[in-house]
Structure formats: C-alpha cells, structure tokens
Amino acid sequence: MSKINKYIIISLAVSLFGELYFYPVESGLKFSAGVIIFNLCVLMMEDMSEVVIAILCGLGVFMTRNIFGILLLHHDIIETLVLNFPSLLYYLIYGVLLKITKLKKYKNSIVNTIFILALTDSLSNIIEAVMRNSINIHIVRIIIFVGFIRGSITYLSYLTYNKQKLFILNSEHQKRYTELNLLISNIQAEMFYLKKSMKDIEKVMSKSYSLYETYKNNEYLREKTLDIAREVHEIKKDHYRVLKGFEALINNFENEDAMTLSNIFTIIRDNTSRYIKESNKEIGISFHFQNDFAVVAHYNIFVMLNNLIINSIDDCENSAFIEISEKEDEDNIYFEVTDTGKGIEEDILPYIFNPGFTTKYDDITGKSSTGIGLSHVKNIIDDLGGNIEVKSEINVGTTFILKIPKNSLNGG
C-alpha cells in the first residue's frame, strides 16, 4: 500500500473515531477516541511523518464535524466553523509536539512513551481550552487525567498489536523452519541411495576396466570397453559432485547448531497433523520423551520418525492412535513408534526392510508405492550403529523400536 493511501485511511479513521467523544466538564472541550487512533498510527507507522498525519487528521476531523454540524444538525455555518477550528489546531499542535519530543525514539519504553503521550495530549488540550476561553484549574486537572488515560490506553493497545505481530512472525518462522528441516531430512535420506549408486558405479567401472585388460589385444573390443570405462567414470564424477554438494549443504545446517528433542518433536507433530488432515482421517497422536537433549545429527531423527509415523498413519483407520516416545539408558536412546492400526502379517515381517518391498497400492491407479521408506530407516540405523526391532499383531497394531547409541546422536 502506498504512503498516500495510508495517510488517507488514517485520516478517515481518526475523523470517524473523532466523533466518539464526551464532555467531562461544561465547556466546548471534547475528549474523543480519535486521538487514541492517531497515537497508535504514529507509533505503528515508522515510515510516516507524525506532522503530516496530524495535519491530515486535523483537517479530516475539522471537515467531518463541520459537515455533521451544518448538514445534519443545521447549525449556523460561521458558528460551526468557529466552534470546530480549535480542534484543527489541536491536532496540528499535537503533531508538532510529538515531533519535538521524539516519541518514536522512546516508544520501546512504557514509562517514557506514556509520559510523552500524556504530556503532549495535555498541552494540546490546554491550548485548545485557552482558545475556547474555558480554562481553569479544574479543567486543567481533568485534561491531565484524560491525557494520562488516553496515553495508557494507546500504549497498551500498541503492546497488544506488537504481541500479535510477533506471534504471527513466530508462526511464519516456525512454518518455514519446519519446511526447511523436512526438506533437508528428505535430501539426506536420498543421499543413502546416491552413496549406494556410487558403490555400484565403482563396481561397473572396475568390471569394465577388467574387460579392457582382458581384451586389450583385440582392437575393437579394447576401444569399446575403454569407452564404457570412460563414460562410467564421467557418471561417477557427476554423482560425486552432486553427493558432495548435498553433503556440504547438510553439514552447514547440522554444524550450525544442535536441535533439542522437544523442538524435533514439535516440528514432526506439525508436519504429521497436516498429513493426517490431508488424509481425511481422525487419528490421535502423542509425543513423550524421558529427557530433552540436544541432537547434532537431528536430520537422521526426522527421516526415521517421519517415515515410521507416515507408515502408521497409512495403516490406521479413523479413531486409531499413534504414540511416539523416547527413553534412554546409560549408553543408548530408544525411540518407539506404536500405532493401533491393522498390523503386519507375520510372514511379511522379515521382508519389510528390503528396498522396494511394499504392500501399499493406490486404490485408483493400482500403482504400488516405492517401498523405500523403511529401507531408509534401516540404512540410517545401520549407519548410526544401532538396530531396529518391530512387533506387530493383526488388528491390534504395530510397534517399531529404534535403539541408537547416544554418541551417534550427540556427536560424542
């Protein structure tokens, strides 16, 4: 929104709220709610001049009160203009005083801000009262009291606005932080297969070179096998560059700082809640931990728990429940993911960690899932020096138990 539009909206708002007023004493002096709106706008709008706002608001209030008085109440034009002119000067003086006292510089101090607002409000009202020839010690006391009240209401409103603004910013930050962590954890999961591909490429290149050695006396086969070795070597270099790029990215994030288990659970809970909602299921889920500790390689936890939880959600119907818990002993951390889903058949259990093995098929297309989720988990567990155990009973549920050495998670 442009500055001009902001100025127009502010002046309109102050003009309308300026018609919400009361007379504390028998005089022409009005105390309106428009001043509170004016103060709030000055505090909130860093890039806008308080003097310009005061001029526009003063003109707006002056014109609004004249229109109401002349057109609606049928007051005399000259009398109405004379009656409302001090209100215009009130806002002009108010804006100049706010500029002189440098309100924006002290707005983070509750005492200074309320004092400046009350002082500015009081001085402006006293000058207006002098112009209306309705000044006495009693009116001055009322003016100071009202100035303090309006200043306090203004600052409390400003604090509420800032708190709400901070809440929104924190919510957006948390959302982006969650998405970033999930993205990095997914990249890390795919790195296991890039590393596996590197080993397969090494084997192919070795076999190709072996063929070259075997048939190097045959000019045709020698050139063919050498070409294959060269092409495989180029593929290996490309894979290596991609893998090193991913590893540098992961290391940058992981070395930046560790993440507490409570934060990990919070992020996973947020992601899981969205997934459950998108699945149109009503599934309860809870997270519990014995101790909150810092995890250096936290993306490993994301990959493992996300895969296990999503599998549980897919295996559960409405009214089911999923529980994620953490326990520990002297040397190991244990994560358990328990659901009250359909369960896994006993004869299938030995194969669930095999890459590509799946029992999931799309109801519409009939296409099977990739079957790499649990193999991801198994790869990570092996890499961390731990192990995974699964217990399942048909129509009762399934429990996955991850056992991980402490020094694999905390970098010790």
Low-confidence spans in the chain with pLDDT less than 50: 28, 255, 364-371
- In angstroms, rounded to a whole number, what is the distance separating the alpha carbons of residues 402 and 382? 11
**pLDDT at residue number 365:** 45
Q: Which amino acid is at 193?
A: Y
pLDDT (tens digit per residue) in 81-127 = 887 788 888 888 888 888 888 888 877 788 888 888 888 888 888 88
**pLDDT at residue number 368:** 42
Topology of 3-168 in CATH?
Arp2/3 complex 21 kDa subunit ARPC3 (1.10.1760)
Domain boundaries, the chain: 3-168, 184-256, 259-410
- In angstroms, rounded to a whole number, what is the distance separating the alpha carbons of residues 239 and 231? 12
Token pair of 368, please?
């099977």
Does the pTM surpass 0.75? The reply is no
Token pair of 32, please?
């309106």
**pLDDT at residue number 254:** 52
**pLDDT at residue number 190:** 63
Cα 194 from chain centre:
31
Q: Name the superfamily (CATH) of residues 259-410.
A: Histidine kinase-like ATPase, C-terminal domain (3.30.565.10)
pLDDT (tens digit per residue) in 117-168 = 888 888 888 888 888 777 788 888 888 888 888 888 888 888 888 777 776 6
- In angstroms, rounded to a whole number, what is the distance separating the alpha carbons of residues 112 and 118? 10
